[in-house]
Amino acid sequence: MNSYNEQFMTEAIRLAIDNVKSGNGGPFGAVIVKNGEVISTGVNRVTSTNDPTAHAEVIAIREACKKLDSFQLEGCEIYASCEPCPMCLGAIYWARPDKIYFTGTKKDAADIDFDDSFIYNEMNVPFEERSIKTIHVRHPETLAPFIEWKNKKDKIEY
């Protein structure tokens, strides 16, 4: 039975602190655990890699999936030093772990200028009114990839 383990949260926090001290990225760490064993860890590497998707949770998910040879994290738990941002939350839901534990809140992050509230707000705005100009276009082949997927007999569902 999966249950909260303070040791793993302490590790996520330690990773976040070490990451700040190293200068490699922001104050975020993540640990992925399966059956009481650490499968992977991640820290924020946005500035050191020039990759805006290099958040702690995403890095940890990528590594765990490689190690488990699966695109899903069934039976796993994620320990995050902070409440996941919208991108990380989306990645977590796609990975389908059993549980997410976090300690810092999105308000705690916003208080030190890691404020994702504008993204949460943008998600509720019609696409034509978003702050980044977003234009829906129709192309003659728009549905072709979907039709191809629907008709594929040997697809791997996810």
Measuring CA to CA, which residue among 61, 65, 54, 106 is closest to residue 79?
61
d(CA 2, CA 74): 12
d(CA 10, CA 71): 26
Handedness of CA 131, 137, 142, 143 (dihedral sign): positive
d(CA 61, CA 135): 31
Q: Is 57 a catalytic residue?
A: yes
Which residue among 6, 11, 57, 129 is the active-site one? 57
* 32 in Cβ contact with 41 (< 8 Å): yes
2-41 residues labelled b (16+ CB within 10 A) or e (exposed):
eeeeeebbebbbebbeebeeeebbbbbbbbbbbeeeebbb
Catalytic residues: 57
